[in-house]
Structure 1
């Protein structure tokens, strides 16, 4: 069990799965740049949170709900949690995370949502089997089932993200297709930094080779 001062942000898990270097830049170096895309995402979240709580028949909607898991050492805020009326007067939590873009090829958003579900389970002592991701570009929800595989991935990611942040070491750049959609590409400079790293590696290798032959 973790204590309050050791908690890391749930969002760090999403950043880690997307790119460990991005996670380090944000959560170790405190680097953040507001772009048109990030501004759209921020405004979307603000509008969701400001809408307030409401009831729609058998569904009670809570927005901006604080979350915490001392078991995984996580803290954050849920965009929306729908409490759906079930049998015997029981209300089933159903977390919904809002994203500006569209579904991604990796599990970064699903891991973030699963972490929210784990927090809800710990806080409310109730099972949370599924939730949804709402994407602004498609204007549709994508249902997410919190199965054993996703839960294990989420717990492992929490450990990895925590270890990275605790190390205070930012991983070297590795340019990939995902870099084009990263809001920190200007600060990260993956192509330039990767070339510089390659040159340093080459020089070190040549020096070692020369030392062995001299």
Structure 2
């Protein structure tokens, strides 16, 4: 179990699953750069995170921008949307009558991917909700803006174990302040950190070292 001051960003698990170096550049070295994909993704999340939009549709309650955390994982963040459904086998919900079942919904720009990066982020949200609510969260959904469709995600043992393992590895790297070296792959071209990571900073341990060297060259 971890204290609150040790929590890492829950959203980082998606970066970590996509590329460990990208995660370290963003979450350890605080490096960031926008491109068209990140800008469009940010607009999608702003709409989903409108905390003033709390909807009730019959026996369904829709909550946006819900803050969640897990001491077991050492992660904290916000769910884009959590849909609560009245369910006789569910759990109590503060301020509401009856029993409810929580279903997290993560909004993403683009379309469904073969990689589990998005699914692992959603799974981490489900694990946070389970710890906070004391109830099972066996399923969630990924909503993709490009296709305007939902993908159902079952929170199976394999996905859960991978999410927990990645959270542990993230903490180990963060504690050491270690940025993994470059491991180029096809998706590097679309990464907003390409100019910081590849090709000019290839095989360098940290962005800080690269920037320091560039400043030294310019001073000559």
Partner of 1:59: 60
Pairing of 1:93-172 with structure 2 (within 5 A): 93-172=102-181
SS at the partner of 1:155?
A: helix
- Look at both structures and tell me which one has the larger radius of gyration over its CA atoms: 1
Using the alignment, how far apart are the partners of 1:153 and 1:143 within structure 2?
Answer: 18
Task: State the number of aligned residues.
Answer: 196
Using the alignment, how far apart are the partners of 1:37 and 1:60 within structure 2?
Answer: 31
Using the alignment, how far apart are the partners of 1:196 and 1:42 within structure 2?
Answer: 29
Partner of 2:69: 68
Cα distance 1:193–1:31, how it changes in 2: closer, same or farther (>3 A)?
closer
- Kindly state the Cα deviation for residue 181 of structure 1 after the two structures are TM-superposed: 2.5
Partner of 2:209: none
Q: When the two structures are superposed, what TM-score results if normalisation uses the length of structure 2?
A: 0.84
Instruction: Please say if 1:183 is aligned against 2:184.
Output: no
Instruction: Please say if 1:17 is aligned against 2:26.
Output: no
Using the alignment, how far apart are the partners of 1:33 and 1:95 within structure 2?
Answer: 28
Cα distance 1:196–1:184, how it changes in 2: closer, same or farther (>3 A)?
closer
Partner of 1:83: 84
SS at the partner of 2:123?
A: helix
Is the contact made by 2:13 and 2:167 (CA closer than 8 Å) also made in structure 1?
Answer: yes
Q: Which ranges of structure 1 fall in alignment gaps of 5 or more residues?
A: 198-214
Using the alignment, how far apart are the partners of 1:132 and 1:73 within structure 2?
Answer: 23
Partner of 1:30: 30
Higher helix share: 1
Q: When the two structures are superposed, what TM-score results if normalisation uses the length of structure 1?
A: 0.87
Q: Which ranges of structure 2 fall in alignment gaps of 5 or more residues?
A: 90-97, 206-220
Using the alignment, how far apart are the partners of 2:56 and 2:197 within structure 1?
Answer: 44
The CA RMSD measured in Å over matched residues stands at 1.6
Using the alignment, how far apart are the partners of 1:142 and 1:2 within structure 2?
Answer: 32
Is the contact made by 2:79 and 2:105 (CA closer than 8 Å) also made in structure 1?
Answer: yes
